[in-house]
Structure 1
Amino acid sequence: MPRQFRASRRAALLLFTCATPAAAQTPSAASVTLSELSVVGAAATDAPSDETRGSLSVPSVDRQRAALAGTVGSVAFVDTAALQDRYTNTLRDVLKDVPGVYVQERYGQELRLSVRGSGIARAFHLRGLELLQDGIPLNLADGSGDFYQVDPLALRSVEVYKGGNALTFGATTLGGAVNAVTPTAYTALAPNILRVDGGSFGTIREQAQMSRIDGPLDGLVNATLTNSDGFRAHEAQATKNFNANIGYRIAPDIETRFYLGTYITDQKLPGTLTLGQSLSTPTLANPTAITGNQSRKVETERIANRTSFLLDVGKLDVDTWAIHKSLYHPIFQAIDQDGWTYGISPHWAGTLDLGGFRDDVVLGLRAFAGQNSALQFVNVRGQRGAQTLNALQSASSLEAYGENRFWFLPDVALMTGAKAFSSNRTFSDKGGLPGNPNPRFADVTYAGVNPKVGLLWQPRPNIQIFGDVVRSRDVPDFSDLVQQNLLSTTFVPLRAQRAWTYEAGARGRFDRLAFDVTLYRSDLRDELINFATNPGLNIPAATFNTPRSAHQGVEAALTLDLARDLAAAGDGLSVTQIWTHNDFRFVGDPVFGNNRIAGIPADVLRTVLSYRHPRGFHVAPSLDWVPQGAFADHANTLRVPGYALLGVEAGLDLADGVALFVDARNLTNARYVSDIAVVANAAATAGGPATLAAFYPGSGRSVFGGIRASF
């Protein structure tokens, strides 16, 4: 083995101790190793590293971290061992310590999740960001998605690939990808876990997890039940999540693993309020939400398989999956959908020796498709009235991608990569209804190539500097394409969103200071922009292409170890500052000029002071601060106020694997707006901006606590 290969392995192990994540794509490719999330004190953990755990299909957490940190670009890693002693109900609770990720709660488990302005003005669900579980897509075939299949208590780690840095999965959307990794019997924190937590708003949740290893066979099951009345009226939720995986080592170099999941959500919708109501009577529900008994009932079943082959050079993973989703969603109309998404994806990663130089290579294909029966009815107090739509949505995609990191110097790598894709959307409205008598049909295909190039330099074993340029494309989904329009066409004539993103950053540690800073700019063409046509009625937003726009910002996190051995040998006090700066603007738009794109505030800051005692006591007060709120409209006539939220988390690890914790939030009971259903021009609202019902109030003071037993 060339000497530079061995040296880069030693650098990887050193970075495990200095940070948390590490380097390349396969267990043999651990050349450059650095973490982004290691700088976040709130995400730190004293859980021992166990590099020996893991299997062929699912590597150990250390190796997951190492593979992520070899990315030439901005990434983040969350080890959920650090989240066991906090109340984690949604992805907001999992990702709030990741710089560059904007995630805000609307109600229940419904969120706005945006990375670098992906889906910035969309008032429902997910766009411009790929959501995966165990590396296998959760999004529907048209690219849309939601968060109801992700159970925070069923996760072992979370990987965040920002922007085009998600090419390792074949994702090249503006926002990138979030990969939620569930535990196996090898990576689970304990063979048995029982947990009960709850608190404010009538919340109670129970979790049970069990895992076993028997020779070549291993298995894990996890079940979580949640019931909550919610902060607002008409916000009650009940969820039942079941995850399981079974692995079998067919031969020393072959392993197969099946994933099974069932996810049932029954969520009442409180709707949006006016700005005045949000700040004075935030627990109210929108009257339309009550009279229409608006809700979201989702039943999802998922089966997936990964079969891994360890080859003479590299490793081949072959993923297959099928997802069945049934949705009943009475809002402005009663939406009744039922569909399947299915796909296959072979993925090879390996390290080559090219004349004594290390060359890390990733090659992959993805083919996936789906059909969705889309029915709509008049909403009669939450029940089906007269039918208004009988349609079939079909989507398919074929993708090929590759990425290469060539180490032309022992500490410098040139990264090149590209993805070619073709995505089809087909819509068939059968008509034959009193208000919709005529059949309609539409078909459109989007195709393109997204290249990427970058450099990674590691001047010291615990310092990493990178820069890259990547092209992204976001393809419209059916919610964008099928909307009423003045042209009376079945599909709105939308173009795919295109962007060139430039980023540069550094991450590492100097003595007691850990840091991670990334600056980026995206120059967009035909950005898919949304605005709500009537947010008070919960009518889905309209979508249009703005000719030019720009997204730029700063993603920064710093952690300083303030003191050690304060009250006892081995204790520690640290402070973490996270800053996400967002500057998203139209550029010469014929209607909105150079205005800010509404929906996300310019600055989001989070400060955490953490103390941990070696006997298991830990406490972490925090401050979440938005100095100036976001605009509610693209015309920039109405802005919501900024806010500051105080919280504190504390816990105690007792003997025999028992732990207690408490999580108190918004201690001052601040009134604030958590999210916005963006409109085009608030000043044009009938009755004036004061009557605009487009705001989701944030939750008031709350306290949650729980007990966990691991054995």
Structure 2
Amino acid sequence: MTVQGGTRVPATARPAGQTRYGATRAVFARTPALTAADMVATIPGVSAIAGNGPRDTAISVRGSDARQTFGLRNLQVLEDGFPMTQPDGLARSDLIDPHAYASLDVVQGPSSTIYGNYAVDGALLFHTRDGADIQGIELGSDFGSYGLFNQYVSAGGAGRWWDLSVFGSDVRGDGFIRNSRFDTSTENVRLRISLSPRDRLVFKVVNNRTDTRLPLRLSLDQFGRNPFQRDCGAAVAAGCGSVSLFRNGAYGATVATTADAADLGRFDRRTIVGMRWEHDLADRATWRTQFAYDERDIDQPTSNTSFVGVYDSYNVSSDLTADARPWGVPVRSFAGLNFNYLDLGSQVYNITPLGGATIGAPTQLVYGHQWNAGARFQEEIRLAARWKLVLGLGGEYSDLGATETILGYTATSATRRFVTANRFYFNLAPEGSLIYTPDQHWTLHTRVGTGYGTPQTSNLFVTPAGVFGNNAQLESQSNVGVDVGAEWHPSAALSLQATLFYEFFRNELVTQSAGVNLQSYTFNAPASEHRGVELGADWHMLPRALPGAHLLLSYTYDNQIYTRYSDVLTGGGTSATFDRAGNAIPGVVPNQLDLRLLYDQPDGRLEGVGGFVEFNFRDAYWLDNANLLRAPSAGLLNLELHYDPPRRMGAWHRLHLFCEIENLANRTYVASAANIADGLGANGAPLGKTALAGRTGSIYAGQPRSAFGGVKVRF
């Protein structure tokens, strides 16, 4: 089910009966498309916020990832059917250069029946371009404000028994916030080989190198005074973020240091290699087996400490899809097994004020593992010509084990404390959906689905005080969601889709900032509810008078509240408990709208000239559990123009030219905000709005008015 054109779904993805929206290359290929945010801008139910780096976009489905400050969580991410999510539930969009992709499908709602652990609110299914689609070489360059320069190449070809696509890019820029310059390169290769009429092999390689400086997150007050952290170089000034670094790198006296002076950043590498064998057992049965190796190396001096680690993971799965007609009833059966394993080792070091992100004494060592083993099946039963019933069940066992060594220092001694966490989780995920297609114009569906997500190992070792320690009591989160949706295609000129969803969470895992110089921590909210509406429209308004005019609309209403959660706050030597039942869950944007009006001249002297005007609105949203402090709303206006010379212009037809102005009105807005922990003052009273507005470690500003251009040539 998709609004924006026909997106293809690989055999390894099975969103039968689920709400699914998508975007094709036609939507995002004519823009600078620097990050995954450009790919999801027009997809209902999906939002994106800035993470830690130029392309580290946190994509949220129905608010699933809105409370995170980096990476992709509560979603399973697959590319050409291969897992991009490691066994601990972390995926990162650093890998994604939109120029490489043909389309994206977003499977929405609890999806653990098929996609397993961490598919709490769905799955992102990326599809790279076919070699047959490229059939040659494409060279491109994008350039623009703040020193942005992206060079990329796509090459591909296809024959009777093979299809190869190769992509590579290098993007660099100075960034629009102080200390945010970057240089990121990505390589992406996919090869499909037909060994015989019944056997196919698919090979996949993704490699990414991220080298980026990283600014500090601000308080709401600092954001109001100095959103882009100007004049925050060697010395700390008003409105500048800063960290307190031990002068000797271990203990004692500290010095306030800016991100620029400390040289904070991320220097990461990620390599994924996979292979899939597809074998047709019979005309109506296909067996698929695949293996993927995923190595993530991190070196992240992002605050007053530096995280260094290697995360190697292995993923193997096998599934069978078969069509049959028992008693004359068409049935499609799916059954699969999966196993994945993560070997993790990380060290945390104090950063010294010497500059160059120089590390000092180690403060934490963690070594351990996580593995998940599961089985799942699904039955699609054609009850009648217009009715389909889908039933499924998935189950998964997870094993998390690690030992943390916490190191402390004084002038006379060094201490060493050990925390061991061994947790075992078993989760089940049943689902059922009913699909009714009364005619060729309508599709109606209702679904009850379930999802689950275990904590990841790192969650078990940061306490609610924001320091390293024992937090191993965390439980798996789970949810049950009900979707009711409809698609209407009254003509080739109009497609509409609407979905109502209501999800009930148990032990929802919520992460929030304890403040600068402290770690973000995770807790279980015993019960919460997510409910909302998703609307999508694709409308060619005047197909005869203006055949090139086209409207895309995406709207999401997302209301999320705690129904059972007591917040324990400490301060001033006292402790108090506050009931948050009925409060909005912070970080979730209640209303989001994207409206894009496009025009492409289909003929005549101006054939190939086109562009769009886009308005994007994000409502104000809460930053804390007490619902005292909000991130302000923002409405952004973007303008794009492009030219694709028609075929009659000969060799010029191989060119594509574009220019775009983003944030045309130059609005200053919040692009990302980590949730803020409430607290008690010295007098034991809860902190008010004014005090919370001074709490740092939360906000990144969004991009001011920016101009970009680009050129692409095909050979």
SS in 2 for 1:124: coil
Query: Following the alignment from structure 2 to structure 1, what is the Cα–Cα distance between the partners of residues 15 and 479?
Result: 24
Query: Following the alignment from structure 2 to structure 1, what is the Cα–Cα distance between the partners of residues 714 and 321?
Result: 35
Give the Å deviation of 1:90: 0.7
Percent sequence identity is 21
2:501 matches 1:510: no
**C-alpha contact 1:172 1:419 (8 A) present in aligned 2:** no
2:664 matches 1:667: yes
Cα 1:217–1:112 shift into 2, 3 Å? closer
Give the Å deviation of 1:577: 2.3
Deviations 1:507-537 (A, max 9, x none): 1212343211000011111111122001x34
2:416 matches 1:437: yes
Deviations 1:273-320 (A, max 9, x none): 232432453211623323432211111111100111122122122110
- The counterpart of 1:542, out of the listed 521, 532, 543, is 521
Query: Following the alignment from structure 1 to structure 2, what is the Cα–Cα distance between the partners of residues 126 and 393?
Result: 22
Give the Å deviation of 1:548: 1.0
2:283 matches 1:315: no
- The counterpart of 2:2, out of the listed 35, 40, 60, is 35
2:80 matches 1:128: no
Which residue number in structure 2 is paired with residue 620 of structure 1?
A: 612
- One-letter identity of the residue aligned with 1:585: I
- 1:92-103 aligned at under 5 Å gives the runs 92-103=37-48
Deviations 1:327-360 (A, max 9, x none): 0001231100012111101122232112222112
Structure 2 residue runs without a partner (length 5+): 230-239, 244-258, 567-577, 646-651, 680-685
Give the Å deviation of 1:266: 0.8
2:385 matches 1:385: no
Give the Å deviation of 1:479: 2.8
2:194 matches 1:249: yes
- 1:27-426 aligned at under 5 Å gives the runs 34-38=1-5, 63-64=8-9, 71-106=16-51, 107-165=53-111, 167-170=113-116, 173-186=119-132, 188-214=133-159, 216-284=161-229, 286-288=241-243, 289-312=259-282, 313-330=284-301, 331-380=303-352, 381=355, 382-426=357-401
**C-alpha contact 1:612 1:618 (8 A) present in aligned 2:** yes
Which residue number in structure 1 is paired with residue 560 of structure 2?
A: 584
SS in 1 for 2:295: strand
- One-letter identity of the residue aligned with 1:550: E
Give the Å deviation of 1:708: 1.1
2:465 matches 1:479: no
**C-alpha contact 1:171 1:177 (8 A) present in aligned 2:** no
Query: Following the alignment from structure 1 to structure 2, what is the Cα–Cα distance between the partners of residues 482 and 225?
Result: 36
SS in 2 for 1:662: strand
2:512 matches 1:531: yes
Query: Following the alignment from structure 2 to structure 1, what is the Cα–Cα distance between the partners of residues 369 and 19?
Result: 34
2:677 matches 1:680: yes
**C-alpha contact 1:35 1:508 (8 A) present in aligned 2:** no
Give the Å deviation of 1:87: 1.2
Give the Å deviation of 1:466: 0.3
Query: Following the alignment from structure 2 to structure 1, what is the Cα–Cα distance between the partners of residues 15 and 306?
Result: 47
Query: Following the alignment from structure 2 to structure 1, what is the Cα–Cα distance between the partners of residues 15 and 470?
Result: 45
**C-alpha contact 1:73 1:504 (8 A) present in aligned 2:** no
SS in 2 for 1:479: helix
- One-letter identity of the residue aligned with 2:553: Q
Deviates more, 1:155-164 or 1:320-329: 155-164
Structure 1 residue runs without a partner (length 5+): 1-33, 39-60
Residues matched between the structures, number: 649
Cα 1:165–1:530 shift into 2, 3 Å? closer
Give the Å deviation of 1:489: 6.1
**C-alpha contact 1:89 1:152 (8 A) present in aligned 2:** yes
SS in 1 for 2:94: coil
Which residue number in structure 1 is paired with residue 702 of structure 2?
A: 698
Cα 1:709–1:293 shift into 2, 3 Å? same
Query: Following the alignment from structure 1 to structure 2, what is the Cα–Cα distance between the partners of residues 278 and 132?
Result: 36
**C-alpha contact 2:293 2:314 (8 A) present in aligned 1:** yes
Query: Following the alignment from structure 2 to structure 1, what is the Cα–Cα distance between the partners of residues 340 and 90?
Result: 14
Which residue number in structure 1 is paired with residue 236 of structure 2?
A: none
**C-alpha contact 1:75 1:165 (8 A) present in aligned 2:** no
**C-alpha contact 2:485 2:500 (8 A) present in aligned 1:** yes
Give the Å deviation of 1:597: 0.5
Compute the TM-score of the two structures, normalised by the length of structure 2. 0.86
Query: Following the alignment from structure 2 to structure 1, what is the Cα–Cα distance between the partners of residues 498 and 401?
Result: 42
Give the Å deviation of 1:687: 7.4
**C-alpha contact 2:117 2:452 (8 A) present in aligned 1:** no
SS in 2 for 1:689: helix
Deviates more, 1:383-392 or 1:430-439: 430-439
Cα 1:69–1:299 shift into 2, 3 Å? closer
- The counterpart of 1:631, out of the listed 596, 599, 622, is 622
Which residue number in structure 1 is paired with residue 589 of structure 2?
A: 601
- One-letter identity of the residue aligned with 1:561: H
Query: Following the alignment from structure 1 to structure 2, what is the Cα–Cα distance between the partners of residues 704 and 379?
Result: 37
Query: Following the alignment from structure 2 to structure 1, what is the Cα–Cα distance between the partners of residues 585 and 424?
Result: 28
Give the Å deviation of 1:68: 7.1
**C-alpha contact 2:500 2:533 (8 A) present in aligned 1:** yes
**C-alpha contact 1:164 1:171 (8 A) present in aligned 2:** no
Which residue number in structure 1 is paired with residue 234 of structure 2?
A: none
- One-letter identity of the residue aligned with 2:692: P
Query: Following the alignment from structure 1 to structure 2, what is the Cα–Cα distance between the partners of residues 168 and 446?
Result: 18
- One-letter identity of the residue aligned with 1:321: A
Cα 1:566–1:488 shift into 2, 3 Å? closer
Query: Following the alignment from structure 2 to structure 1, what is the Cα–Cα distance between the partners of residues 115 and 285?
Result: 16
Deviations 1:228-276 (A, max 9, x none): 1111111111101011123322212111121122210011111212324
Give the Å deviation of 1:692: 2.2
2:438 matches 1:450: no
**C-alpha contact 1:279 1:673 (8 A) present in aligned 2:** no
Query: Following the alignment from structure 2 to structure 1, what is the Cα–Cα distance between the partners of residues 531 and 10?
Result: 27
Give the Å deviation of 1:605: 0.7
Deviations 1:142-169 (A, max 9, x none): 1122211222222222121112346444
**RCO comparison, higher one (Cα < 8 Å, 6+):** 1
SS in 2 for 1:156: strand
Query: Following the alignment from structure 2 to structure 1, what is the Cα–Cα distance between the partners of residues 452 and 705?
Result: 41
Deviations 1:210-244 (A, max 9, x none): 12335534432211000011111111111010111
Query: Following the alignment from structure 2 to structure 1, what is the Cα–Cα distance between the partners of residues 401 and 688?
Result: 35
Give the Å deviation of 1:409: 0.7
SS in 2 for 1:64: coil
Query: Following the alignment from structure 1 to structure 2, what is the Cα–Cα distance between the partners of residues 180 and 596?
Result: 32
- The counterpart of 2:539, out of the listed 555, 560, 574, is 560
